Each structure stands twice: as C-alpha cells, then as structure tokens.
Amino acid sequence: MKKRGKFLAAALAVLLTVSLAACQKKANTTPETPAESSIFTPGTYEGKANGFHGEIKLTVTVDATKIVDIKAVHTETQGLGDMAVEDLIAQAKEKSSLALDLMSGATYSSNGFMAALEDALKKAGADIEKLKVKGEDEQSAQKDIVLDTEVAIIGAGGAGLAAAVSAHQNGAKVVVVEKMPNVGGNTIISGSAYNAVDEKRQSAMGIEDSIEKHYTQTYEGGDKQGDPALIRVLVENAYPTIEWLESLGMKFKDTVFTVLGGLWPRAHKPVEPLGTGYINTYMNYINQHQDEIKILTETEAKTLIQNTEGRVVGFEAQGKNGKVTVNASKGVIIASGGFGANIAMRDKYNTLWPTLTNIKTTNHKGATGDGIVMAEAINADIIQMENIQLLPMGDPITGSLSGNIEQGVENRIFVNAAGNRFVDEGARRDVMTKALMAQTDAMMWVIVDQHSYPTGDTVNNFNESIDSLVEQGRAYKADTLEDLAKQIGVDPQNLVKAVEAFNASVDSKVDEFGRTLFKDKLDTAPFYAGKRVPTVHHTMGGIKITTETRVVDKNGVVIPGLFAAGEVTGGIHGTNRLGGNALADVNTFGRIAGATAAKGN
C-alpha cells in the first residue's frame, strides 16, 4: 500500500458534497510568457478557495518546471482536514501536477485545497488541463497480480481493520483490500460514540447500569427482531473490546454520555476527534507489522472464489492497474460496510419509510453494499434488508452529521418551525425521525445553552467549535431566547414557552412527551440553535452470521471459509439500532472475526 503522510487513515476529511468558489488573487509576481520547454512562469503565486471551516489560502512557489514550495493558511479541522492539506502539499511538491490522490470521497478540505492550488497555478501560466493528466509512471501498463495469504479481508473501515489486527495477533498473515483511496470507511467520519457497560467510569458518575440493561434496551429497541445470541455477544464483549483497544494504545475520555438514540449514558468518547482514534490505533499496529499485514487501496473486490468443496478460498478484485486475485488459506472476511450511500439499493429494499430517493446520507460514498451482493451470489443468507435507519440529525445541505450542536441527549431540546417541541428527545432514533418527518418542511432546530458550550472554542462531537459554526452560519447564537427565535424565524413566545416547560420538567421529572433523560435546564445565556433534517444513517440488514461471525447460507448451513463483521451483517440490531451500538458492533465483531478466521477451520 502506498503511504502518504504519517497515517493514511487519519488524513480523511469529513464526507460532504461540496460547492467551491475559488477567489483569484496574484501574490507578488507578474507572469511572463513561459519558455517553450517550461511548465510555469517562475515566481510565487497565491490561490484561494473555500474549505470546510472557511478559506484555504495557498502561497505557491514555482520554477520553470516544478512546484518548489507551498505554504498554507487555513482553519481546517485538527487531525482531519489539516492532515488532508499536509498530504496534498506533499503530493503536489512531489509530482508538480494537479493529478493528486484526494482523500476518500469528495471533501471540503481536499477539494478546497485543489481549487486553491489550481487558482495559483493558473496565475503561474500553467496549462491546467495538462497538469490534471497523470504522468507516464502513473499510467503503468495493466498487470494482473496474485497474492497468497492466510486471512483476506474485504474492506478497510473499522470492522476490517479490527479484524486485520486481531487475525495477526492470532498468528495469521493478512491482506486487506479497500476500494476507496484511503482506509477508514464510515468509522473515521463517525461521531465516535461507543456503548459499553463500564463499572469504573459509570460508577464515578453515579450511573447505574448492567449488561442485562444494555441487552434489554438493544433487543427491545430493535422491536425484538435482533438475534438474541448476537446481541448477547455484543453487550458482553463491548467493554472487553474497549480494553483491547486501550491495550493497543487508544485513549478514551474518563466520562460517558448518552448519545442520540442511545437510551442510556454508556457512550464512550475517544480523545481523538471523530473516529480517527479507532483508525489511527489500528493503523499504528498495522504499520508496525507491514511484512505480515498488507493493505491495498483503490482495489475493489468483485467475486468470491470457492473450491470444489464449496469452501471460500479467496476473491478476485479490480485494482488500479489490473486484476488482483487474493488466495486465502484460512478464511475471507467481508467487512465492506452497509448500503446507505446506494440509493437504488435503499429503494429496492425499503418498506418502512416514504421514498428515500431524495434523502441524503451520513455515509461515505463507498458504502454501496458490495459485500452483500458478493455474498448473496454464493447463496449466503441475506436478512432484514428493509431495516434502514434514518436520523433526525442531518445537515440540511449535505446530510452529514457535522455541524450538529448537541453534546448529549440530556441538555438539549428540539423545536419545529413554529418554535414548539414535538417529540421525546431521548427516544429511539426511528421514533424521533418519524416525528420530524411530520413537521413542516421536515426540519427542526436543536436548542442548547451555555451548559453545552461553556466557551466559544468548545467543540461539538465532530471537533467543530461553536464559534466557527456560528461564523459559518451553521449555528445561531443569542443572549436571549427571544433574539434567538428572531434569528431562526420561529415564534418567540412559542420558543420561550417550550424552554420554560422543559426547565420545569428538569425539576419535576415529568414531561409532556414522556421524556426521562434530563440534566441541566436551558437557562444560561448564550443560547444556540442549529438546523437539522432527516438523513439515512445505518442499514441494519445484511449477511447472516453466527456468534463466531461465520456466514451461513439460505439453508442455515455455514459456508466454510467465509466470515463477516460490521454493518455488512444483518440481524443484530433489528428494526432500530441504538445510538452508540454501531462502533461497539464494528469493533467487537471485527475482533471476533479476525480471531475466528485465523483458526483456519
């Protein structure tokens, strides 16, 4: 795998659909007509474009044939967007072109950088279209390759990387293929909440919890459609998997919280932003064992290979330069994620929601259900595909979870376009989303106060400061509820009444919508509001597995040599996944899959 930057995974910026407006300004030279053999007019030029958190400004120095230096001024997210910019600077200097490998998916940070770089190089007299063509060294002849390993994994998101590390720890050599340019999948852009019963952290906060409570809430929260045996594995192994992650160097905060739709305060939050902590932890390990764990990006698995006895012994994939055949002597693990970004597939299976065609998604663009299709092609049982989860927390423009101003369930309310509450804000995700869809324009405002943001530089669960969100117009701030109501266009009297009623419920613990999760009143300025809409978030259906992650066929018989873990599987969560259970699922079952496959039986 080609490494770009310290950790390929952590360079991923948040997935968003982006519209960039580049501003052109020359720095300190006047382009002259380049010599016939030159590419640029030597000098230093400035380029600008919009990034994720505002303007990206590049100062680019060139000589006649190459990019000599690039200096960047920006406010991109630390640990994500800033690393994307650093990675692209290194590539641009190495290649002296615009044919760069962008971060996985179309992102504000990477596309903003490219627009700013193009702006600067135009002023340097470059032929922009020619610079976008890859050089001969990158247009190598098609060449098929064959790789022999013990455990082969399809997908390099959280489940796939967990499986890779676990398989290696259990003595296996590993090959991982990932169709996207970078590893990380949905895990790296997640809000990072991880549910686990944790006596140490919860007891310190006065929170009573138990494995049985987590089991019951998960089972009943999915309308009792989840497989009880799989749920039992999840809740019993969630915390041991946190301990495993910590043994690998990952750090979690000392407190837990209730994540949206999580129903109870047991969500753990990593120290690193978004899901980068999980991916960095796995990549740290993998980078230390590169001779025995190989990752191929931009390599899309297409077909599973079975021997004459029906055992899965590998798969065929399409790489950048030809066909890649991976032979696996011990097992193949499918960890390719769900199908939230596949509109046709969503519409094919959806029976629970109005049409999902025009609903955006929180998922990265590679979440298209490929692994499910491959497994079904060899008669694997595919179950509960209609169970598609929506959230009420999508960004109105992109559908992503970024920009969400809530910090936890207990300290915020939802109001509709009239300024009225309309649902229990601590309810199941499907309950809240259905209630939101019944509101005018299917939109709502999240309302919080200083309890959630003690200072302007306090960040949300996506590492965005509240001040930056207000500056970008993605959140609103006021010293009074009346002023906040005017800013967001709702009836001031209604908003004030809604907050007053909520505050009374904090004292009485009796709420008109049946809410039971409370902490602080909304009574301390400044007050904040953020707009949210429904968005497709998780697909609970997929490949049927056993408690050891072995894939079973339509007759209930295990398919030898084939395993699956993560969102590609079905039957764990039922009709509705509790918030915070996805990362517990991904990491726990990824770990189990790696260990099971390494046994080779």
Rounded CA separation 573/508 (Å):
33
Q: How many CA atoms lie within 13 A of 220 on its CB side?
A: 8
Rounded CA separation 422/500 (Å):
15
Annotated catalytic residue: which of 428, 429, 515, 550? Answer: 429
- DSSP secondary structure letters along 407-469: S-GGG-EEE-TTS---S-TTS-HHHHHHHHHTSGGG-EEEEE-TTT-SSTT-B-TTS-BHHHH
Is the separation of the CB atoms in 597 and 172 below 8 Å?
yes
SS3 per-residue string spanning 97-112? CCCCCCCCCCEHHHHH
457 CB-contact burial (10 Å; exposed 0-12 / middle 13-18 / buried 19+): exposed
In this structure, is the dihedral angle defined by the CA atoms of residues 296, 301, 303 and 307, taken in order, positive or negative?
positive
Nearest to 5 by CA among 61, 97, 112, 81: 81
Is the separation of the CB atoms in 15 and 340 below 8 Å?
no
Angle among Cα 164, 179, 103 to the nearest 5 degrees reads: 100
Nearest to 156 by CA among 128, 137, 130, 184: 184
Residue 38 has which token pair? 């030159």
Q: What are phi and psi of 109, to 5 degrees?
A: -65, -50
Terminal-to-terminal C-alpha distance of the chain: 29
- Please give the distance of CA 386 from its chain centroid, rounded to a whole number: 22
In the chain, count of helices (H) and strands (E)? 15, 22
466 CB-contact burial (10 Å; exposed 0-12 / middle 13-18 / buried 19+): buried
Q: Is 429 a catalytic residue?
A: yes
Indicate the helix (H) or strand (E) that contains 557: none
- DSSP secondary structure letters along 298-359: S-EEEEEEE-TTS-EEEEEEEETTEEEEEEEEEEEEE-----TT-HHHHHHH--SSS--TT-
CB atoms under 10 Å from CB of 115, counted, come to: 21
Rounded CA separation 34/125 (Å):
7
Rounded CA separation 513/309 (Å):
58
CB atoms under 10 Å from CB of 12, counted, come to: 33
Q: Which residues are catalytic?
A: 429
